[in-house]
Chain A
Amino acid sequence: MSGNKENIQKDRYWIDRVLGGDTNAFATIIQNTEGLVTQIVFKMISRTEDRKDIAQDIYLKAFKSLPGFRYQSKLSTWIAQIAYNTCLTYLEKKKLVLIDNRNENIETDDDSLEFVGSKSVIGLFNQTENDIFQRELNEILKSEIELLSPLHKTLITLYHNEELSYEEIARITQLPEGTVKNYLFRARRSLKDNLLRKYKKEEL
């Protein structure tokens, strides 16, 4: 709770400075929130050349709308919401799909389910093998995350990488908390199934 108050006080300090005409204060706001915005833009927008314009657009919108900020959430959450909406508008304009359910119902048999878990649990690997396995896993995971739909990618990243709460994610995406949990469940399951399928295929 005190952390929340502290955040609001910090946000208020920087916002008051920006509204007082100090554009350098806005530079600080950008630096404080850039990580989160970058994650959203990278996960929602696949075309590298469009990301630059979109990222700038997000902060220009935030700057213009700053007088209307009502402190109902953290400033970073509010800017992330602008980022998500801007990316959403882009996807709609380009007629791109936000959520793709084609890979949702892939079932994995129990043999393959045991495969990844068993390697580290039983301790078949020594340290070097384990490092190679981790590197391989990271690479495969990276490409598998890229294959997810923009919304699933974003939710996974906001929850697991940015460590945001369900409430904050719901606020950013303007989805009910239950829907966020449901989408996250599906995204993780889809990711796990695809990962196991990939491992099984490589083993063969």
Chain B
Amino acid sequence: MIAEHLSENELQQYVSDSLHCEQSIREHIKSCYICKEKAETYQILFSGIQRQQKPEFDFNLTDLVIAQLEQPKRSFSTNIVVAYLLSSIGITAVLISCFLFHEYLSGLFIRYSNLLIYLFMAITAVVFLFQCIEICRKYKKQIGVLNLS
């Protein structure tokens, strides 16, 4: 048995788990009125803490979180629908224009000389080539960033 009074640590050990704490601590508590009283103070404290009311949010957390999880999906699908719709309208408009004004368009090529047409095609090809090079360069750069991270 421990002759001196128990330390605060031993008292807490006893109150937390009296069955599994050292035998000497249990024996001391049985025979020492002062330590028994101190232990009971801790006992009151521990049960007081356990009796404390559990806090609650004043809003529905589940609803708030779930709404945010579904939101990106919805906006993503809406964007795709809008993109498809605009593309369809654009393509339809071009096709209708081609159909309505096909005589003027073919006249455009007949009226101007071959040299002008070749020049126009060359410029278009150069611009297209530059665009392709630029896209390749950007793609390589982005892949490089991804590999690094």
Residues 44-86 of chain A: 1 if any B CB is under 8 Å from the residue's CB, otherwise 0?
0000000110011001100100000000000000000000000
Kindly state whether residue A42 has any CB partner on chain B within 8 Å: yes
Please report the C-alpha to C-alpha distance between residue A42 and residue B44 in the assembled complex, in whole angstroms.
24
Please report the C-alpha to C-alpha distance between residue A141 and residue B46 in the assembled complex, in whole angstroms.
10
Instruction: Return the contact of B48 from the options A137, A185, A189 (Cβ within 8 A).
Output: A137
Contacts of B56 in A (CB 8 A): 38
Contacts of A160 in B (CB 8 A): 46, 49-50
Instruction: Return the contact of A161 from the options B50, B65, B68 (Cβ within 8 A).
Output: B50
Kindly state whether residue A34 has any CB partner on chain B within 8 Å: yes
Total interface residues on A, CB under 8 Å, equals 42
Is A185 within 8 A of B12, CB to CB? yes
Kindly state whether residue A94 has any CB partner on chain B within 8 Å: no
Interface of B is mostly: helix
Contacts of A114 in B (CB 8 A): 34, 37-38, 41
Is B57 within 8 A of A38, CB to CB? yes
Is B42 within 8 A of A192, CB to CB? yes
Kindly state whether residue A120 has any CB partner on chain B within 8 Å: yes
Please report the C-alpha to C-alpha distance between residue A149 and residue B34 in the assembled complex, in whole angstroms.
30
Contacts of A137 in B (CB 8 A): 44, 48
Q: Which residues in window 78-121 of A have CB below 8 A to B?
A: 110, 113-114, 116-118, 120-121
Is B49 within 8 A of A141, CB to CB? yes
Kindly state whether residue A180 has any CB partner on chain B within 8 Å: no
Contacts of A23 in B (CB 8 A): 66, 69-70
Nearest residue, chain B, Cβ from A57: B65
Please report the C-alpha to C-alpha distance between residue A152 and residue B45 in the assembled complex, in whole angstroms.
15
Please report the C-alpha to C-alpha distance between residue A145 and residue B45 in the assembled complex, in whole angstroms.
11
Is A52 within 8 A of B49, CB to CB? no
Contacts of A189 in B (CB 8 A): 8, 12
Interface of A is mostly: helix
Contacts of A138 in B (CB 8 A): 48, 51-52
Nearest residue, chain A, Cβ from B68: A60
Q: Give the distance to chain A from B36, nearest Cβ to Cβ, in Å.
A: 8
Nearest residue, chain B, Cβ from A156: B49
Instruction: Return the contact of A142 from the options B8, B41, B52 (Cβ within 8 A).
Output: B52
Please report the C-alpha to C-alpha distance between residue A117 and residue B48 in the assembled complex, in whole angstroms.
13
Please report the C-alpha to C-alpha distance between residue A51 and residue B58 in the assembled complex, in whole angstroms.
10
| Most chain A C-beta atoms within 10 Å of own C-beta, residue among B45, B62, B68 | B45
Please report the C-alpha to C-alpha distance between residue A103 and residue B113 in the assembled complex, in whole angstroms.
95
Kindly state whether residue B61 has any CB partner on chain A within 8 Å: yes
Please report the C-alpha to C-alpha distance between residue A189 and residue B12 in the assembled complex, in whole angstroms.
9
Nearest residue, chain B, Cβ from A48: B58
Kindly state whether residue B111 has any CB partner on chain A within 8 Å: no
Kindly state whether residue B144 has any CB partner on chain A within 8 Å: no
Q: List 13 A-B contacts (CB under 8 A).
A: A23-B69, A30-B62, A38-B55, A42-B55, A59-B65, A113-B37, A113-B38, A114-B34, A114-B38, A134-B48, A137-B48, A185-B9, A188-B46
List chain B positions with a Cβ less than 8 A from chain A: 8-9, 12, 34, 36-42, 44-46, 48-52, 54-57, 59, 61-62, 64-66, 68-70
6 more A-B residue pairs beyond the given contacts A118-B37, A120-B40, with a C-beta to C-beta distance below 8 A? A51-B57, A60-B65, A60-B68, A137-B48, A138-B48, A192-B42
